[in-house]
Chain A
């Protein structure tokens, strides 16, 4: 009973992540890769992503502090960051990345900085949500950690 409740909650949480636009189809792809040999695959990937992306963000932040802005470099960094964010299905984060790159191409330093703040926020928000989700999923037990909504 308890378990069922938890499971239901997990499912709901998951669903909302999608409907609210935090995650996209790519996340489902990851879930599908999860199997018995890798029961925590998605969580592992998310952890890896966050560890790596924090570093990237710091690099970008440092670059942003230097003026005049080296848009080329910023664009390159962001391209990388966007690639990894998209591979885990971080939809909102990806959108901000895209916006940032456009500002870079336009040479709009102000826009870049603003977008970067938004990006960091999205990045942190998603992190919290995923952590909560994974934690609950673990509680629910192995069986239902990743239900594929399809």
Chain B
């Protein structure tokens, strides 16, 4: 069955359009990865450098708050730093995808790794968000006091550092979306 010349030309046109689209998506992927690196790094640093001492103290106790005091916030710092490191290491792979649009196996690996990092980052940041919510509101039934009333700047710091990771999470979802989109085009 011979294809006519017109059919061959139209096939060639659609395949160049396809590769252009793949290249554009790969460039977008790289840019989003850079933004996510900045977001997760800022999150980790903002949470990791928290330290506030209240100006009053009794004879025995010094009132001091840092992220280390709450194990969930410690987990958040570790997970944010881990996500940031992974994103930096995946930048070369992303550049490879820009230059070679037809790479399939590496894209599958990237989807799987991105998804694992998305899961761990989401878990750590939502656990930290639950703790920060508790710090703001407390819980009357469990008699858990809202320590934000005393430690103002510590509270602001830990609340603000969550923003970075909540920017990075939709970016991760979009990265997975882009990789899947490119894979589905033959």
Bound together? no
Interface residues of B (CB under 8 A from A): none
